[in-house]
Structure 1
Amino acid sequence: MTSQTITATASGTWKLGDRTVHRIGFGAMRLPQQGEAFAPEADSRDRDQAIGVLRRAVELGVNHIDTAAFYFSPLRSANELINRALAPYPDDLVIATKVGPGRDPSGAWLPHATPQQLRGQVEENLRQLGRDHLDVVNLRIVGTDSLADRFGALAELRDAGLIRHLGLSNIHLHHLAEAQAIAPVVCVQNMYGIGASSEQEELLRQCGEQRVAFVPFYSIAGTRRTAGAPAEDSSGVQAFARARGVSAAQVRLAWTLHRGAHVLAIPGTGDVDHLAQNVAAGSLRLSQDEVDELASLRPDDAEG
């Protein structure tokens, strides 16, 4: 699959609130360091390399970048790399960030923020990105408890003009309705990919019915999660990729995009060649039979 001249426009568009984005975006989680994200022993990525990847992403038409203040290595911060690489920001660029989790300077995880602490996290993202407002802020949660107090706190910051749109991350089915009763939700970020569970499929379906963007994470990495894409993908995905003359990662990305017009992909990488391949996946067209064939892979077949 030739990827050099394929841009993110090939993936189509969707609206995040009042902002139109290409359906292939970029995830900044892996940008600050090489190897597994958040691993304390991993080396920080070369600064110029990271900046080059971000600038190339925008050149390739990417206008949706996912980040967070807790994406950092000992020497690099994803938000500050984005600021250095892309400010002053293009008018069409949408930067989505996450709040809820936090890390101390050593990288250790902190308890998730209380409603009162969320404003400080929003302000830290604003400072690092050099913005006077945030395009999209996703509340990331853990567990099944009510998110009303925390989402309500973000809704107040939205009313104050610090946030333009709100989203959710890592939620269960009931959380979407709970949040929608407080303020509009423009996107849901959840783990999703080939071999997804029935609950994940139902959440994707409900988002589509409500015209809420569904933004899968770990769609390439699968169970390896922050460790990134597997060196040897599953036999089922590999066989399919060979038959189409593409990479397994491109198959996984294309498959998620075919699950609904409201699905937005945010693959991350620190390599410009991998970036081009990820963007090119937005032009890969699958028949309904091929989509169904890949969906039928059992979780162990899908994850390798």
Structure 2
Amino acid sequence: MTSTTFHIGKDLRVRRLGFGAMRLPTEPGPAREAALGVARRAVELGVTLIDTAHLYGAGANEELLAEALHPYPEGLLITTKVGVARSGPAGEWKVDGRPAVLRDQVDQALRRLRVQRIELLQLHRVDPETPLADQLGTLGELRAEGKIGRIGLSEVTVAELDQARGFVDVASVQNRYNLLDREHEPVLAACEAAGIAFLPWRPVTWGESGAQAEIAAVAAELGATPTQVALAWLLGRSPVILPIPGTARTDHLEENLAAEGLALGPAHRDRLDRLAAPA
């Protein structure tokens, strides 16, 4: 039977099917009010892992989650990401892992999320212009200072993951991965071998029509939706996978979370496995 929970960093227990907050509108108005309701409904339905980032609205997404959920219920993990900043020549967003930037964004996240410590802090991207030792060394210092509980990475290769583990304990990796896009299969394998949480972003996507038709056929046979099939496939793919599907609609949220109860038999899984060749 597929486990519904995972211990990030070996000690932080979360429900494997989480929620990605990126799509929640943050501008004042009815859409924002609805977004607050979606975040609250996620927690009501038992979500214990919510993903956000400094990049999402320059911290506005973090503020939205705090408004919706603070004071946080026991066991709720809000993980955020740092390392992308408006530091391009014209003030545009760019990967920026300079120590001062990482420290500032962590301090901003602590203030916006209204917490003393971020239990899981992920480096949004590795900055090729800043030595990795400086980037991870800074996060390690922040952990020693008690501002960070665990350190994760995002969009890394196996080589980068190996190198990073030489500097810090890596608790999670957040790479793009789904039923039809398995480019990072080697990274998933490395995470599984090391017991590192693998949070696939863009966990649901659609490819060419033949693949869509096959997924729809499996869904029809199981009385489910294609999205639920895609999420159930991820949950069964590896015990370290923690999908974080995002939505701004309560009905889609409920549909996504119901995928946890969908059982894919060997025949269905075999058909789905063949839709995209592993990397």
Give the secondary-structure state (helix, strand or coil) at the position aligned to 1:217.
Answer: coil
**Letter matched to residue 69 of structure 2:** L
Residues 16-67 of structure 1, C-alpha deviations (whole Å, 9 max, x = no match): 1221000111101111269xxxxxxxx9771220111111100100010100
Alignment-derived partner of residue 96 in structure 1: 79
Q: Mark the CA change 1:267 to 1:107 in structure 2 (over 3 Å): closer, same or farther.
A: farther
Matches of 1:128 and 1:269 in 2, distance apart?
22
Residues 165-194 of structure 1, C-alpha deviations (whole Å, 9 max, x = no match): 000101011111111111111111000011
Q: CA deviation at 1:288?
A: 2.9
Over the aligned positions, Cα root-mean-square deviation in angstroms equals: 2.7
Matches of 1:276 and 1:173 in 2, distance apart?
34
Q: CA deviation at 1:148?
A: 2.6
**Correspondent of 1:155 among 116, 133, 140:** 140
Matches of 2:159 and 2:206 in 1, distance apart?
24
**Letter matched to residue 55 of structure 2:** F
Alignment-derived partner of residue 62 in structure 2: 79
Matches of 1:148 and 1:257 in 2, distance apart?
33
Matches of 1:45 and 1:218 in 2, distance apart?
26
Alignment-derived partner of residue 186 in structure 1: 171
Q: Mark the CA change 1:292 to 1:132 in structure 2 (over 3 Å): closer, same or farther.
A: same
Q: CA deviation at 1:86?
A: 0.6
Give the secondary-structure state (helix, strand or coil) at the position aligned to 1:163.
Answer: coil
Alignment-derived partner of residue 123 in structure 2: 139
Give the secondary-structure state (helix, strand or coil) at the position aligned to 2:54.
Answer: coil
Q: Contact 2:38–2:248 (CA<8 Å) still a contact in 1?
A: yes
Residues 49-89 of structure 1, C-alpha deviations (whole Å, 9 max, x = no match): 0111111100100010100122128xx92111110111011
Summarize the alignment of residues 142-291 of structure 1 with structure 2, pairs less than 5 Å apart: 147-197=132-182, 199-221=183-205, 234-291=212-269
Q: Mark the CA change 1:238 to 1:110 in structure 2 (over 3 Å): closer, same or farther.
A: same
Q: Contact 2:155–2:176 (CA<8 Å) still a contact in 1?
A: yes
Q: Contact 1:11–1:282 (CA<8 Å) still a contact in 2?
A: no
Q: Contact 1:148–1:178 (CA<8 Å) still a contact in 2?
A: no
**Letter matched to residue 185 of structure 1:** V
Alignment-derived partner of residue 3 in structure 1: none
Q: Contact 1:144–1:172 (CA<8 Å) still a contact in 2?
A: no
Matches of 2:194 and 2:35 in 1, distance apart?
36
Alignment-derived partner of residue 58 in structure 1: 43
Matches of 2:260 and 2:162 in 1, distance apart?
30
Residues 104-133 of structure 1, C-alpha deviations (whole Å, 9 max, x = no match): 8x9942342312311001111111111111
**Letter matched to residue 130 of structure 1:** R
Q: CA deviation at 1:103?
A: 4.0
**Letter matched to residue 52 of structure 2:** T
Matches of 1:143 and 1:103 in 2, distance apart?
14
Alignment-derived partner of residue 13 in structure 1: 5
User: With CA pairs under 8 Å and 6+ residues apart, which has the higher RCO, 1 or 2?
Assistant: 1
Q: Contact 2:95–2:126 (CA<8 Å) still a contact in 1?
A: no
Q: Contact 1:70–1:103 (CA<8 Å) still a contact in 2?
A: no
Matches of 1:103 and 1:55 in 2, distance apart?
30
Q: Contact 2:82–2:124 (CA<8 Å) still a contact in 1?
A: yes
Identity %: 41
Q: Contact 1:28–1:67 (CA<8 Å) still a contact in 2?
A: yes
TM-score, structure 2 as length reference: 0.89
Matched residues, number = 271
Q: Contact 2:96–2:127 (CA<8 Å) still a contact in 1?
A: no
Q: CA deviation at 1:134?
A: 0.5
Q: Contact 1:220–1:252 (CA<8 Å) still a contact in 2?
A: yes
Matches of 1:265 and 1:137 in 2, distance apart?
17
Matches of 1:120 and 1:182 in 2, distance apart?
21
Q: Contact 2:95–2:125 (CA<8 Å) still a contact in 1?
A: no
Q: Mark the CA change 1:144 to 1:289 in structure 2 (over 3 Å): closer, same or farther.
A: farther
Q: Structure 2: any 5+ residue segments left out of the alignment? A: none
